[in-house]
Amino acid sequence: MGCGSSKQQDMEPTPPSVPLKSRPGTRAQSRGGEPQRRTAPPSKNPSTAPSRRGHEGRGTRTGTHSRKGSTPGSRRSQPRSAATRSTGKSSSALSPLEEQPVPEDRVITNETTTLSTFISLHCKEFYRTQIDNGGQPIRKRMARVIISKIIEGNGNERTVANELAREFQPYAKSPADEKKRADNILSHCEIAANIASLIRRHGADWTFSWDGEVEFPSLMKDRVPVRPGGF
């Protein structure tokens, strides 16, 4: 029986040898017996594994677009202030009134004397009488309106001049001189507007006093007379 069993074992076919498959991550033997280096399996999704050249190219283009887009954006992110847009100057720029120097006292007094003189000459040249129907001197009435409405009231010089031209038209010498008379009154009102501007820049308390029977008031600075009134 022992011989029979050995014969049966000799008669059983030997299964063919199958080469073992190398697992990923293990070194496979080359045909020559030398070990080969392990290589990573190819990616199933080509889009997730771009080549180095393509990746660098896209990165470069993206950087270029971001730089181009950032230039206008950076300019828009720094808008000018509202003051600069309306005036074209910075908000720290001084106003025209602050830029002008403070006038001297004599400038204001001289301009006031000029206004008084011009009104007096105007009345003598353009009116056949120096007294209106109410018994008031035309010179005094004209000076009072100009001072109260333009110097003290900051009224418009052209509007005041038109009012005075109509008021004293009945006393005018000649209708032919109507335009010249109206233009002359306007020049007086413009002098008064200049006096008002000088007083605002000066800063002191400038006033006019009609004490007495004067036809032109005295000029006061901080309640102290600096120019007497006139007849």
Reported as a single tens digit per residue, the pLDDT across 111-146 is: 999 999 999 999 999 999 999 999 999 999 999 999
Residue 178 lies in a domain: yes
Residue 50 lies in a domain: no
Structural domains in the chain (count)? 1
Residue ranges making up the domain that contains 162: 107-227
Residue 158 lies in a domain: yes
- pTM greater than the 0.85 cutoff: no
pLDDT level of residue 96 (50, 70, 90 thresholds): low
Residue 51 has pLDDT above 60, yes or no: no
The shares of helix, strand and coil residues in the chain, as percent rounded to the nearest 5, are 55, 10, 35
More confident residue, 86 or 106: 106
Range with the poorest average pLDDT among 45-49, 110-114, 194-198: 45-49
Containing 178, the helix (H) or strand (E) segment is helix 178-202
Residue 11 lies in a domain: no
Residue 19 lies in a domain: no
- The mean pLDDT of 68-84, rounded to a whole number, is 42
Phi-psi category of residue 135: left, alpha or beta, with phi > 0 → left and psi -120 to 50 → alpha: left
Containing 219, the helix (H) or strand (E) segment is strand 218-221
Residue 63 lies in a domain: no
- The mean pLDDT of 90-103, rounded to a whole number, is 60
pLDDT level of residue 98 (50, 70, 90 thresholds): low
Residue 67 has pLDDT above 60, yes or no: no
Q: pLDDT tens digits for 153-170?
A: 989 999 999 999 999 999
The C-alpha atoms of residue 133 and residue 122 are separated, in whole angstroms, by: 18
Residue 159 lies in a domain: yes
Residue 56 has pLDDT above 70, yes or no: no
pLDDT confidence of residue 5: 44
Residue 31 lies in a domain: no
